[in-house]
């Protein structure tokens, strides 16, 4: 049968793999949130610029059809921004859940590392005690002739 520390080392390896996967999940989730924020900022910037352009054109006069088309386009941009904000809420919630999962996995991995180290220490201590016991027994069997 394998030593306890060897069995624990296998479990620790599994915990490390799971943590690496959790690290990747966390990085992906953070990237989605960051990318979403950047996209939202771009959409809002585009909306502001288009509205300013629309106002400038409106001051100079424009055809009703062009005005209606521009207003419809602005409404589509605003709708896209609303949808994107909803998506951002979902991504933020997912990030929160992934962070919670990552903390659990990290804690488990640390616990497995500590248990493995403790098992190794215990085995070393037991080996040292056994060696000392053997040395004591030898020393008692091999007494010098002058005693």
Tens of pLDDT, residues 27-51? 999 999 999 999 999 999 999 999 9
> What pLDDT is stored for residue 142 in this prediction?
67
Topology of 4-138 in CATH? Helix Hairpins (1.10.287)
Report the candidate in 43, 52, 45 with the shortest Cα–Cα distance to residue 76. Answer: 43
pLDDT at 87 over 90: yes
pLDDT on residue 140: 79
Cα 30-34-47 angle, rounded to 5 deg: 155
Mean model confidence pLDDT for the chain: 89
**Is the pLDDT at 57 greater than 60, yes or no?**
yes
Give yes or no for residue 117 having a pLDDT over 80.
Answer: yes
Distances (CA, A) of 80 to 24, 42, 47, 109: 29, 12, 10, 42
pTM of the predicted model over 0.75? no
> What are the CA-CA distances from residue 122 to residues 3, 4, 6, 99, 118 (Å)?
11, 10, 13, 34, 6
């Amino acid at each position: 049968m394998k030593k306890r520390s060897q069995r624990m080392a296998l479990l620790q390896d599994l915990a490390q793999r799971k943590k690496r996967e959790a690290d990747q999940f966390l990085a992906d989730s953070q990237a989605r949130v960051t990318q979403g924020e950047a996209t939202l900022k771009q959409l809002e910037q585009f909306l502001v610029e288009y509205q300013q352009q629309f106002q400038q054109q409106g001051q100079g006069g424009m055809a009703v059809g062009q005005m209606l088309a521009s207003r419809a386009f602005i409404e589509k941009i605003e709708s896209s921004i609303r949808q994107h904000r909803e998506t951002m809420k979902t991504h933020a919630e997912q990030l929160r859940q992934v962070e919670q999962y990552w903390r659990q996995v990290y804690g488990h991995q640390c616990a497995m590392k500590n248990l493995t180290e403790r098992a190794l220490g215990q085995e070393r201590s037991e080996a040292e005690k056994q060696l000392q016991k053997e040395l004591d027994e030898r020393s008692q069997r091999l007494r010098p002739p002058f005693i």
